[in-house]
Structure 1
Amino acid sequence: MPNYIDQSLAHEMKNATAEQKVDALFNYMEAEGQSFYDEVVTQLEHALQCAALAQQNDASLTLITGALLHDLGHIILDEHNADKAFLDIDLNHEEIGAEYLAPFFPEAVTTPIRLHVPAKRYLCATDASYHDGLSEASKRSLIVQGGVM
C-alpha cells in the first residue's frame, strides 16, 4: 500500500472489538470526511446517503456496509477539497479502500467497494437515465476514472 495513505484508522482497528471498530470508523469518517464532493454534499453525507439507499432497497447488511464505506479510499488518501486536484486525478480510491478494509471485513463488503467504479462506468454506458442522475461531481470523476465503458 502506498506511503501516503493514512494508516491511523487501520492501527486503531487492528486489535479492536467489532463495536470498537464501528466507533473508530464513524469517528474517523466524521473527523476526516468533511470535504465536499459538490456544493452541498460532504464525503460523510454521501456515505450515509448511499448506506440509507441500500437499506431502503432491502440490501443485505454486508452490502449496506459496503455502500457506507465505498469511498473511504478518498478519505484515507487525504483527497480533500483544499487540494485543487481533488477528484481530478484518479488514485484508484476503490482499490485502495477495498485493500485497506480487507483485514477487517469479509469479501462481501470489500468486493462491492472494489467494483463500484467499474459498475458506475458500466451503468453509464447501458442506462442513460443513470448517467443523467449523477451529480456534476460524479460526472466529472467518471471522466477521470476512464469514462463510460
Structure 2
Amino acid sequence: METAYIETPLGIASISGDEDGITSVSVTKESSEKPSTKIPVILQDGALQLQEYFQGNRTDFDLKLNPAGTDFQKKVWDELLNIPFGKTTTYLDMAKRLGDPKCIRAAASANGKNPLWIIVPCHRVIGSDGSLTGYAGGLWRKKWLLDHENPVKQQSLF
C-alpha cells in the first residue's frame, strides 16, 4: 500500500492505494502533514486527476478504485458515482434509487463512510429541504465543493 499527500484548496489530501486501485482519498486533519515531494507511480494518475479537478479542468474521474466496505456500502458508493458534476440529490432520492426509501438512514451512514473523498462525490447529497447536512470533512468543505462545481458562478458587483 502506497500513500501520498497533495495540497488542495481544502487542505492536505491523503491518497492511498496499490496495484488493485485507489483505496482511500481523504483530507487530513493533521496540520503537520506536508505534501509529498515524490508521488508513487501507482498514485500519480489519481493525484493528477485530483489536481485537475481543483483547477477546474476535470468534471469526472477515470481511475481504478478499490475501496473497502460492505456490499451495501459499495452499492451506495456506486450510486453516488451516478450523480452528475454540478448536480445534487437528496438522501431520500438516493434511498429510492437504491430500491427502498426506508433505507435512508443506512444509505446516509454508508455515504458518511465513503473512503474516496471527491472521487466518489458524497458531497453532492443534501437534505430534502436543500440544507447541507452532514459531511465528514466539515460543512464548509461541502459548501466549497458544491460552489466549485456550480456551473453558475456568482460574480462580484464591485
Greater strand content: 2
Larger radius of gyration: 2
TM over 0.5: same fold? no
Superposition TM-score tier, normalisation by shorter sequence:
0.3 to 0.5
